[in-house]
Protein backbone atom coordinates (compact mmCIF):
# COMPACT_ATOMS: atom_id res chain seq x y z
CA UNK A 1 0.00 0.00 0.00
CA UNK A 2 1.25 3.50 -0.82
CA UNK A 3 2.27 5.67 2.13
CA UNK A 4 -0.34 8.10 3.43
CA UNK A 5 1.41 11.19 2.00
CA UNK A 6 1.13 9.70 -1.52
CA UNK A 7 -2.59 8.99 -1.43
CA UNK A 8 -4.82 10.91 -3.83
CA UNK A 9 -2.11 12.15 -6.19
CA UNK A 10 -1.37 11.47 -9.85
CA UNK A 11 1.49 10.92 -12.26
CA UNK A 12 2.66 13.07 -15.19
CA UNK A 13 5.42 12.12 -17.65
CA UNK A 14 6.91 9.59 -15.28
CA UNK A 15 6.84 11.95 -12.30
CA UNK A 16 4.55 11.48 -9.31
CA UNK A 17 2.74 14.78 -8.73
CA UNK A 18 0.98 15.90 -5.55
CA UNK A 19 -0.72 19.24 -4.85
CA UNK A 20 -0.69 20.41 -1.26
CA UNK A 21 0.37 23.29 0.92
CA UNK A 22 4.11 22.87 1.27
CA UNK A 23 5.09 22.77 4.92
CA UNK A 24 8.06 21.46 6.85
CA UNK A 25 6.09 18.44 8.02
CA UNK A 26 4.96 17.64 4.46
CA UNK A 27 8.50 17.82 3.08
CA UNK A 28 9.90 15.84 6.02
CA UNK A 29 7.30 13.11 5.46
CA UNK A 30 8.08 12.76 1.75
CA UNK A 31 10.13 9.64 1.05
CA UNK A 32 12.02 8.72 -2.15
CA UNK A 33 10.14 6.51 -4.59
CA UNK A 34 11.13 4.62 -7.74
CA UNK A 35 10.03 7.73 -9.66
CA UNK A 36 10.74 11.36 -8.91
CA UNK A 37 8.06 13.02 -6.79
CA UNK A 38 6.95 16.66 -7.14
CA UNK A 39 5.13 18.25 -4.22
CA UNK A 40 3.44 21.29 -5.78
CA UNK A 41 2.50 24.16 -3.51
CA UNK A 42 -1.11 25.35 -3.53
CA UNK A 43 -0.18 28.84 -2.29
CA UNK A 44 2.40 29.98 -4.88
CA UNK A 45 1.85 28.86 -8.50
CA UNK A 46 4.78 26.90 -9.89
CA UNK A 47 6.56 26.50 -6.54
CA UNK A 48 7.38 22.87 -5.76
CA UNK A 49 9.68 20.49 -3.93
CA UNK A 50 11.13 17.66 -6.00
CA UNK A 51 12.08 14.42 -4.22
CA UNK A 52 14.50 12.38 -6.32
CA UNK A 53 14.78 8.57 -6.16
CA UNK A 54 18.15 9.14 -4.46
CA UNK A 55 16.41 11.08 -1.69
CA UNK A 56 17.47 14.64 -2.54
CA UNK A 57 14.80 17.26 -1.88
CA UNK A 58 15.10 20.29 -4.14
CA UNK A 59 12.93 23.40 -4.20
CA UNK A 60 12.10 24.49 -7.76
CA UNK A 61 10.00 27.07 -9.58
CA UNK A 62 8.21 26.41 -12.84
CA UNK A 63 7.27 29.47 -14.89
CA UNK A 64 6.97 30.77 -18.42
CA UNK A 65 8.79 33.90 -19.60
CA UNK A 66 7.10 36.75 -21.45
CA UNK A 67 8.61 35.25 -24.61
CA UNK A 68 6.78 31.99 -23.90
CA UNK A 69 9.85 29.97 -22.88
CA UNK A 70 9.37 27.37 -20.16
CA UNK A 71 11.70 27.46 -17.19
CA UNK A 72 12.07 25.13 -14.22
CA UNK A 73 15.17 26.19 -12.26
CA UNK A 74 16.23 24.94 -8.85
CA UNK A 75 15.94 27.42 -5.99
CA UNK A 76 17.99 25.42 -3.53
CA UNK A 77 18.16 22.25 -1.46
CA UNK A 78 15.84 21.54 1.44
CA UNK A 79 17.99 21.98 4.52
CA UNK A 80 19.93 24.81 2.97
CA UNK A 81 16.59 26.63 2.59
CA UNK A 82 13.52 26.28 4.75
CA UNK A 83 10.12 25.93 3.11
CA UNK A 84 9.29 29.55 3.91
CA UNK A 85 12.61 30.85 2.61
CA UNK A 86 12.15 28.94 -0.64
CA UNK A 87 8.54 30.15 -1.00
CA UNK A 88 9.65 33.76 -0.44
CA UNK A 89 12.38 33.36 -3.08
CA UNK A 90 9.85 31.87 -5.50
CA UNK A 91 7.58 34.88 -4.99
CA UNK A 92 10.49 37.26 -5.68
CA UNK A 93 11.32 35.42 -8.89
CA UNK A 94 7.70 35.43 -10.04
CA UNK A 95 7.55 39.18 -9.42
CA UNK A 96 10.64 39.55 -11.62
CA UNK A 97 8.95 37.47 -14.33
CA UNK A 98 5.90 39.74 -14.22
CA UNK A 99 8.24 42.70 -14.78
CA UNK A 100 9.50 41.00 -17.93
CA UNK A 101 12.61 39.45 -16.45
CA UNK A 102 13.96 35.93 -16.58
CA UNK A 103 15.64 35.17 -13.23
CA UNK A 104 16.72 31.68 -14.27
CA UNK A 105 18.60 33.02 -17.30
CA UNK A 106 20.12 35.78 -15.17
CA UNK A 107 21.31 33.19 -12.65
CA UNK A 108 22.83 31.06 -15.41
CA UNK A 109 24.55 34.11 -16.90
CA UNK A 110 26.01 34.98 -13.50
CA UNK A 111 27.40 31.45 -13.15
CA UNK A 112 29.07 31.62 -16.56
CA UNK A 113 30.38 35.18 -16.13
CA UNK A 114 34.18 35.43 -16.37
CA UNK A 115 36.44 35.76 -13.36
CA UNK A 116 39.12 38.42 -13.08
CA UNK A 117 41.71 35.72 -13.85
CA UNK A 118 39.88 34.94 -17.09
CA UNK A 119 39.64 38.66 -17.88
CA UNK A 120 43.42 38.91 -17.46
CA UNK A 121 43.91 36.12 -19.99
CA UNK A 122 41.54 37.78 -22.46
CA UNK A 123 43.23 41.14 -21.93
CA UNK A 124 46.64 39.70 -22.80
CA UNK A 125 45.47 37.58 -25.74
CA UNK A 126 42.90 39.87 -27.35
CA UNK A 127 44.31 43.28 -26.49
CA UNK A 128 47.92 43.49 -25.35
CA UNK A 129 49.42 41.04 -27.84
CA UNK A 130 47.74 42.93 -30.67
CA UNK A 131 48.83 46.41 -29.59
CA UNK A 132 51.82 46.41 -27.26
CA UNK A 133 55.53 45.81 -27.61
CA UNK A 134 56.87 42.51 -26.19
CA UNK A 135 58.51 44.39 -23.31
CA UNK A 136 55.19 46.02 -22.42
CA UNK A 137 53.45 42.66 -22.61
CA UNK A 138 56.00 41.17 -20.23
CA UNK A 139 55.47 44.04 -17.81
CA UNK A 140 51.71 43.60 -17.90
CA UNK A 141 51.97 39.85 -17.40
CA UNK A 142 54.34 40.30 -14.47
CA UNK A 143 51.97 42.50 -12.46
CA UNK A 144 49.03 40.28 -13.42
CA UNK A 145 50.82 37.21 -12.06
CA UNK A 146 52.30 38.85 -8.97
CA UNK A 147 49.52 41.20 -7.92
CA UNK A 148 46.18 41.06 -9.70
CA UNK A 149 45.43 37.34 -9.94
CA UNK A 150 46.49 36.47 -6.35
CA UNK A 151 44.27 39.20 -4.88
CA UNK A 152 41.29 39.43 -7.25
CA UNK A 153 41.55 36.47 -9.62
CA UNK A 154 38.71 34.40 -8.16
CA UNK A 155 36.14 37.21 -8.18
CA UNK A 156 33.62 37.49 -10.99
CA UNK A 157 34.38 40.53 -13.14
CA UNK A 158 30.85 41.85 -12.65
CA UNK A 159 31.15 41.52 -8.86
CA UNK A 160 34.35 43.52 -8.33
CA UNK A 161 33.58 46.69 -6.38
CA UNK A 162 35.62 49.78 -5.57
CA UNK A 163 36.45 48.54 -2.03
CA UNK A 164 37.98 45.40 -3.58
CA UNK A 165 40.38 47.51 -5.63
CA UNK A 166 41.09 49.83 -2.69
CA UNK A 167 41.88 46.84 -0.46
CA UNK A 168 44.22 45.41 -3.10
CA UNK A 169 46.05 48.73 -3.33
CA UNK A 170 46.37 48.89 0.45
CA UNK A 171 47.95 45.43 0.53
CA UNK A 172 50.60 46.69 -1.91
CA UNK A 173 51.42 49.83 0.09
CA UNK A 174 54.94 48.52 0.80
CA UNK A 175 55.71 48.53 -2.95
CA UNK A 176 53.93 51.64 -4.27
CA UNK A 177 55.56 51.68 -7.70
CA UNK A 178 54.40 48.15 -8.47
CA UNK A 179 50.99 48.93 -6.95
CA UNK A 180 50.62 51.82 -9.40
CA UNK A 181 51.60 49.60 -12.32
CA UNK A 182 49.08 46.98 -11.26
CA UNK A 183 46.43 49.67 -10.84
CA UNK A 184 47.04 50.99 -14.35
CA UNK A 185 46.58 47.49 -15.77
CA UNK A 186 43.42 46.92 -13.73
CA UNK A 187 41.94 50.22 -14.84
CA UNK A 188 42.59 49.39 -18.48
CA UNK A 189 41.20 45.86 -18.11
CA UNK A 190 37.98 46.98 -16.45
CA UNK A 191 37.47 49.61 -19.15
CA UNK A 192 37.75 46.81 -21.71
CA UNK A 193 35.40 44.65 -19.62
CA UNK A 194 32.72 47.25 -20.33
CA UNK A 195 33.56 47.17 -24.05
CA UNK A 196 33.33 43.37 -24.03
CA UNK A 197 29.98 43.39 -22.23
CA UNK A 198 31.15 41.95 -18.90
CA UNK A 199 30.19 45.06 -16.90
CA UNK A 200 27.69 47.90 -17.43
CA UNK A 201 29.07 51.12 -18.90
CA UNK A 202 30.57 53.54 -16.40
CA UNK A 203 31.13 50.99 -13.61
CA UNK A 204 34.93 50.73 -13.61
CA UNK A 205 35.74 49.88 -9.94
CA UNK A 206 39.10 51.67 -10.21
CA UNK A 207 37.35 55.01 -10.49
CA UNK A 208 38.13 57.33 -7.55
CA UNK A 209 40.66 54.88 -6.05
CA UNK A 210 43.85 56.91 -5.57
CA UNK A 211 47.25 55.79 -6.79
CA UNK A 212 50.39 56.24 -4.69
CA UNK A 213 52.56 59.33 -5.21
CA UNK A 214 55.45 58.40 -7.47
CA UNK A 215 57.91 60.16 -5.18
CA UNK A 216 59.90 61.51 -8.10
CA UNK A 217 60.16 65.07 -9.36
CA UNK A 218 60.47 65.70 -13.09
CA UNK A 219 63.86 67.12 -14.00
CA UNK A 220 64.54 68.56 -17.44
CA UNK A 221 68.16 68.09 -18.50
CA UNK A 222 69.82 71.41 -19.26
CA UNK A 223 72.74 72.10 -21.59
CA UNK A 224 74.93 72.42 -18.51
CA UNK A 225 73.79 68.98 -17.31
CA UNK A 226 74.55 67.49 -20.72
CA UNK A 227 78.02 68.99 -20.67
CA UNK A 228 78.76 67.53 -17.24
CA UNK A 229 77.44 64.13 -18.30
CA UNK A 230 79.50 63.87 -21.46
CA UNK A 231 82.65 65.12 -19.73
CA UNK A 232 82.13 62.39 -17.15
CA UNK A 233 81.65 59.80 -19.89
CA UNK A 234 84.89 60.93 -21.55
CA UNK A 235 86.71 60.58 -18.23
CA UNK A 236 85.27 57.10 -17.68
CA UNK A 237 86.30 56.01 -21.17
CA UNK A 238 89.79 57.51 -20.88
CA UNK A 239 90.49 55.94 -17.51
CA UNK A 240 88.78 52.63 -18.28
CA UNK A 241 86.75 52.94 -15.09
CA UNK A 242 83.76 51.00 -16.42
CA UNK A 243 83.06 48.35 -18.99
CA UNK A 244 83.38 50.23 -22.28
CA UNK A 245 79.85 49.18 -23.28
CA UNK A 246 78.21 51.22 -20.51
CA UNK A 247 79.26 54.73 -21.64
CA UNK A 248 78.52 53.74 -25.23
CA UNK A 249 75.02 52.66 -24.23
CA UNK A 250 74.46 55.96 -22.42
CA UNK A 251 75.61 57.92 -25.47
CA UNK A 252 73.29 55.88 -27.70
CA UNK A 253 70.37 56.51 -25.38
CA UNK A 254 70.77 60.26 -25.82
CA UNK A 255 71.69 60.06 -29.51
CA UNK A 256 68.60 58.09 -30.49
CA UNK A 257 66.19 59.18 -27.72
CA UNK A 258 65.70 55.52 -26.83
CA UNK A 259 64.54 53.88 -23.65
CA UNK A 260 67.10 51.94 -21.66
CA UNK A 261 65.33 48.68 -22.51
CA UNK A 262 65.50 49.56 -26.21
CA UNK A 263 69.21 50.34 -26.10
CA UNK A 264 70.24 47.16 -24.25
CA UNK A 265 68.24 45.02 -26.70
CA UNK A 266 69.42 46.89 -29.80
CA UNK A 267 70.33 44.68 -32.77
CA UNK A 268 72.66 45.42 -35.67
CA UNK A 269 69.98 44.74 -38.26
CA UNK A 270 68.01 47.70 -36.83
CA UNK A 271 70.94 50.08 -37.40
CA UNK A 272 71.04 52.08 -40.64
CA UNK A 273 74.71 53.12 -40.73
CA UNK A 274 74.44 54.99 -44.02
CA UNK A 275 71.80 57.36 -42.67
CA UNK A 276 73.04 57.32 -39.04
CA UNK A 277 69.76 56.19 -37.61
CA UNK A 278 68.06 53.28 -35.85
CA UNK A 279 64.88 51.85 -37.33
CA UNK A 280 62.90 50.33 -34.47
CA UNK A 281 60.90 47.34 -35.79
CA UNK A 282 57.90 47.80 -33.51
CA UNK A 283 57.31 51.53 -34.01
CA UNK A 284 57.36 54.17 -36.75
CA UNK A 285 59.86 56.43 -35.06
CA UNK A 286 63.47 56.67 -36.20
CA UNK A 287 66.20 58.68 -34.60
CA UNK A 288 67.68 61.52 -36.59
CA UNK A 289 71.43 62.16 -36.83
Confidence of residue 287 (pLDDT cuts 50, 70, 90): very low
Residue 239 has what pLDDT? Answer: 78
pLDDT above 80 (res 6):
no
How far separated are the first and last CA of the chain, in Å rounded? Answer: 102
Residue 46 or 67, more confident: 46
Hey, what CATH topology would domain 116-195 get?
DNA polymerase; domain 1 (1.10.150)
pTM for this predicted structure: 0.56
Distance (Å, whole) CA 200 – CA 164: 17
Round to whole Å and give the CA distance between 124 and 131: 10
Residue 26, helix vs strand vs coil: helix
**How confident is the model at residue 5, as a pLDDT?**
52
Are 147 and 168 contacting, i.e. CB atoms less than 8 angstroms apart? yes
- Give me the architecture of the 4-112 domain, per CATH: 2-Layer Sandwich (3.30)
- Read off the pLDDT band of 67 (50, 70, 90): confident
Q: How far is CA 53 from CA 20, 61, 284, in A?
A: 20, 19, 69
DSSP 8-state class, residue 164? H
Arithmetic mean of pLDDT, 24-42: 94
Q: Model confidence over 216-269: pLDDT tens digits?
A: 666 778 888 888 888 888 888 887 766 778 888 888 888 877 777 788 888 888
- Within a 10 A sphere around the Cβ of 87, how many other Cβ atoms? 19
Q: pLDDT (tens digit, 9 = 90+) per residue, 127-185?
A: 999 999 999 999 999 999 999 999 999 999 999 999 999 999 999 999 999 999 999 99
3-state SS track over 40-105: EECCCCCEEEEECCCCCEEEEECEECCCCCEECCEEEEECCECHHHHHHHHHHHHHHHHCCCCHHH
- More confident site: 195 or 66: 195
| Each residue's pLDDT tens digit, 85-120 | 999 999 999 999 999 988 887 777 777 789 999 999
Domain regions of the chain by residue span: 4-112, 116-195, 223-278
- Answer whether residue 74 shows pLDDT above 80: yes
Q: Could you read off the pLDDT of 196-213 as tens digits, one per residue?
A: 999 999 999 999 999 999
| Per-residue pLDDT at 217 | 63
Query: Which residues neighbour 161 within 8 Å (Cβ) at sequence distance 6 or greater?
Result: 205
The per-residue pLDDT for 144 is: 98
Looking at residue 12, what is its pLDDT? Answer: 60
Classify the C-alpha dihedral 181-187-192-198 as positive or negative: positive
Burial of 54 (0-12, 13-18, 19+ CB in 10 A): exposed
> Residue 284 has what pLDDT?
40
Which pLDDT does position 276 carry in this prediction? 80
Amino acid sequence: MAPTWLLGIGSFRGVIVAKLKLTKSAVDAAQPQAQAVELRDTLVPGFLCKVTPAGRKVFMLQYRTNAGERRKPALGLYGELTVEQARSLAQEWLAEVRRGGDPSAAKAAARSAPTVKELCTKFMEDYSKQRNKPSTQRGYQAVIDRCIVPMLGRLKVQDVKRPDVATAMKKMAHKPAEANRAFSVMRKMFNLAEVWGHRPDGTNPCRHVPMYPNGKATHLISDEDMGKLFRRLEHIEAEGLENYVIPLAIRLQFEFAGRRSEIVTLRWDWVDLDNRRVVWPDSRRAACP
